[in-house]
């Protein structure tokens, strides 16, 4: 059966990934190991949430919804089962190595997807992708400096990075699965399976140069974005609690 709204489904999934990753990043504010990284993660969070808003606004245009209200409605009033983010971004922030490596893995994949979207025949989507791509250069520069530094640093930093990679790698495999609506949008959006191959090639080399070993994946992680991790309901409860306490409040 053909989906009613493949493009808005696709855009909401893109936005959900950014929003939830941004939320996890924000949990470092006031808790990062050094002040510079507190600032860096707060900036990651701000950027990702800002990028989520751009994608939600495009989805609103596609649905004929009010773009000034749609992002808040989606973020603060949508039940957990209706979100379409990857479990990769839902996982708790872990230690700082874990959050840094997750950011690296996600942003590296996003770089390839944005390159594909910049070339899209859908002009509004290509415009937003171009905007996000430039800002993401600063994320990539930061994570690409820290991943090798930690991977080749002290015994402890190496141990923490390898443990992070062992845990994240199975979840990252879900990046290869098509986003909601993607299969109906062939020719308009890049194929996740193709992006995944490029991504895997790049990160495998980079991680290896960072003295980190790609684990042999044994854990199977559900690639269906309608299936969430055990951590997600608590995250959504935390995210939505204040807004739902008084939905009519003016901020």
Partner 1 sequence: MIANGRGEVASPTIPIDQIWSALAEVPDPEMPFVNLVELGIVREVEWLGGTLQVTITPTFAACPAYEVMGSNIEGRLHKLGIGNVKVLIRHHPTWTSEWITDVARAKLKTAGLAPPPHHSGNLIQVLLDPVACPHCGSTNTSLRNGFGTTPCRMIYTCNDCKEPFEQFKPL
- Cβ distance to partner 1 smaller for residue 65 or 183: 65
Tokens 């199977």 locate to 220
Contact (Cβ atoms closer than 8 angstroms) between residue 176 and residue 199: no
Give the shortest CB-140-to-partner 1 separation in angstroms. Answer: 10
Distance CA 67, CA 53 (A): 9
Place of tokens 């990252």: 172
Closer to partner 1 by CB, 42 or 63: give it: 42
Length of the chain: 251
- Asked if 53 touches partner 1 (CB under 8 A), the answer is yes
Query: Residues 47, 90, 110, 182: which binds partner 1 (CB under 8 A)?
Result: 47
90 phi/psi in degrees, rounded to 5:
-80, -30
Q: Is 20 in the site for partner 1 (CB under 8 A)?
A: no
Separation of alpha carbons 211 and 153, rounded Å: 10
Tell which one of 36, 95, 156, 201 touches partner 1 (CB under 8 A).
36
One residue of 3, 5, 93, 131 binding partner 1 per CB under 8 A? 131
Q: What is the spatial distance between Cα 86 and Cα 93, in angstroms, rounded to a whole number?
A: 14
The residue among 136, 110, 135, 114 whose CA lies nearest residue 125 is: 114
Please pick, from the candidates 72, 115, 127, 166, the single residue that binds partner 1 as defined by CB under 8 A: 127
Query: Is 46 or 239 the residue whose CB approaches partner 1 more closely?
Result: 46
Binding site for partner 1 (CB under 8 A): 36, 39-40, 42-44, 46-47, 49-51, 53-54, 124, 127-128, 130-132, 134-135, 137-138, 141-142, 145
């Amino acid at each position: 059966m053909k989906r009613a709204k493949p493009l808005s489904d696709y855009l909401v999934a893109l936005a959900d990934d950014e929003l939830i990753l941004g939320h996890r990043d924000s949990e470092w504010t006031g808790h990062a190991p050094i002040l510079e990284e507190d600032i860096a993660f707060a900036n990651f969070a701000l950027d990702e949430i800002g990028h989520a808003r751009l994608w939600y606004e495009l989805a609103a245009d596609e649905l004929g919804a009010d773009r000034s209200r749609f992002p808040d409605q989606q973020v603060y009033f949508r039940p957990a089962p209706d979100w379409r983010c990857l479990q990769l971004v839902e996982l708790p922030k872990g230690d700082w190595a874990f959050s840094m490596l997750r950011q690296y893995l996600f942003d590296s994949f996003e770089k390839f997807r944005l390159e594909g979207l910049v070339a899209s025949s859908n002009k509004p989507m290509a415009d937003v992708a171009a905007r996000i791509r430039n800002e993401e250069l600063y994320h990539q520069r930061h994570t690409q400096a820290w991943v090798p530094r930690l991977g080749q640093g002290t015994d402890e930093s190496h141990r923490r990075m390898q443990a992070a990679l062992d845990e994240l790698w199975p979840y990252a495999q879900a990046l290869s699965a098509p986003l909601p609506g993607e299969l109906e949008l062939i020719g308009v959006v890049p194929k996740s399976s193709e992006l995944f191959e490029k991504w895997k090639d790049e990160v495998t080399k980079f991680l290896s140069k960072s003295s980190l070993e790609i684990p042999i994946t044994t854990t199977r992680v559900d690639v269906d974005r309608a299936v969430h991790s055990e951590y997600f309901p608590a995250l959504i409860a935390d995210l939505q609690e204040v807004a739902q306490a008084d939905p009519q409040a003016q901020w």
